[in-house]
C-alpha cells in the first residue's frame, strides 16, 4: 500500500479510534459471508416487480423526481439492503419508508437492492464547478488539521462507493445529500456503524456540506 493511501487511512483510523471501543453497532445487519452471498444473489427481476410501487418517489429507473428524495439507480446493493433492514428494525426512521420496509421480507429487500444497483447511474445536468474547489480538495485530500480523511478513501475516487456497504455518491440529488449530512451532524440519523459519518459531519460547516452535495451531484 502506497504512502498516498496510508496517510488518509491513518487519518480515518485516528478519527474512529476514540469511539470504536465503546460504541455499539447502530444496525442489526452483520456482514457475514452468508449475508453477503444472500444479497449478492438477490433476484433483480423480482426486484423490478417490487420497485413498481417505488416509482412515484424514486422514479421508473431509480432516478428520483423530487430533489429531496434519493436516487437509487446504481446504488451499492449491500447499502440499499442495509438501509431497508435498518428502516424495518427501527435503526433508521422515516414516516414513509419505515412502514414500507417493515412490509418487506429480507428476500424482498435483497431483490430490490439487486434491481436498483443494476440500473445506470443518474446523469444530472452539468453545473458550474468553479466554486467547488474546497469540496474537491476535501474529496481528494481531506483535512489533516481536523483529522478528516479524504472522502475518496471510503466512497471511491469517482464517488462509486465500495463493496461492503459504503454508498455510491456520484449523481445523487444534492438536496437529499445535503439533508442527509445535516441529519448525521445533528444525530437525527444514527444508523452509521460506530458513528463514522456522524463524527465526520459534525466537523463540517453547513456550507462545506452544501458544496460537497453539489460536487457529488454533478460527478459522473
∠ CA(208), CA(194), CA(67), 5° rounding? Answer: 40
Neighbours of 55 (CB within 10 A): 13
What CATH architecture does domain 3-24+127-217 belong to?
A: Orthogonal Bundle (1.10)
Q: How many Å apart are CA 177 and CA 181, to the nearest integer?
A: 6
Helix, coil or strand: residue 153:
helix
At the fourth CATH level, the homologous superfamily of domain 33-117 is: Cytochrome c-like domain (1.10.760.10)
- Per residue in 8-53, pLDDT (tens digit) is 555 555 555 554 444 445 899 999 999 999 999 999 999 999 999 9
- Judge if pTM exceeds 0.75: yes
Q: Dig out the grid coordinates for 220 from the structure.
A: 459522473
Burial class of residue 61, CB neighbours in 10 A (0-12, 13-18, 19+) = middle
Among 44, 24, 47, residue whose Cα is nearest residue 194: 24
Contact 74, 117 (CB under 8 A): yes
What separation in angstroms does the CA of 84 have from each of 92, 94, 113, 117, 194?
Answer: 9, 11, 9, 14, 19
For the stretch 155-200, pLDDT in tens is: 999 999 988 899 999 999 999 999 999 999 999 999 998 899 999 9
Domain with CATH 1.10.760.10 in the chain: 3-24+127-217, 33-117
Amino acid at each position: 500500500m502506497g504512502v498516498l493511501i496510508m496517510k488518509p487511512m491513518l487519518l480515518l483510523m485516528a478519527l474512529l479510534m476514540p469511539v470504536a471501543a465503546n460504541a455499539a453497532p447502530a444496525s442489526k445487519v452483520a456482514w457475514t459471508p452468508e449475508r453477503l452471498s444472500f444479497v449478492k444473489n438477490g433476484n433483480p427481476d423480482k426486484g423490478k416487480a417490487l420497485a413498481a410501487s417505488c416509482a412515484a418517489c424514486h422514479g421508473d429507473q431509480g432516478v428520483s423526481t423530487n430533489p429531496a428524495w434519493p436516487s437509487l439507480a446504481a446504488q451499492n446493493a449491500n447499502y440499499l439492503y442495509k438501509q431497508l433492514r435498518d428502516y424495518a428494525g427501527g435503526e433508521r426512521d422515516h414516516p414513509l419508508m419505515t412502514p414500507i420496509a417493515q412490509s418487506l421480507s429480507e428476500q424482498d429487500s435483497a431483490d430490490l437492492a439487486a434491481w436498483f444497483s443494476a440500473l445506470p447511474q443518474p446523469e444530472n445536468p452539468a453545473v458550474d464547478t468553479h466554486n467547488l474547489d474546497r469540496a474537491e480538495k476535501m474529496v481528494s485530500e481531506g483535512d489533516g488539521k481536523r483529522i478528516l480523511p479524504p472522502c475518496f478513501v471510503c466512497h471511491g475516487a469517482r464517488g462509486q462507493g465500495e463493496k461492503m456497504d459504503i454508498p455510491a455518491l456520484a449523481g445523487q440529488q444534492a438536496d437529499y445529500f445535503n439533508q442527509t449530512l445535516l441529519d448525521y451532524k445533528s444525530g437525527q440519523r444514527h444508523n452509521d456503524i460506530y458513528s463514522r459519518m456522524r463524527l465526520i459531519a459534525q466537523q463540517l460547516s453547513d456550507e462545506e456540506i452544501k458544496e460537497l452535495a453539489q460536487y457529488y451531484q454533478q460527478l459522473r
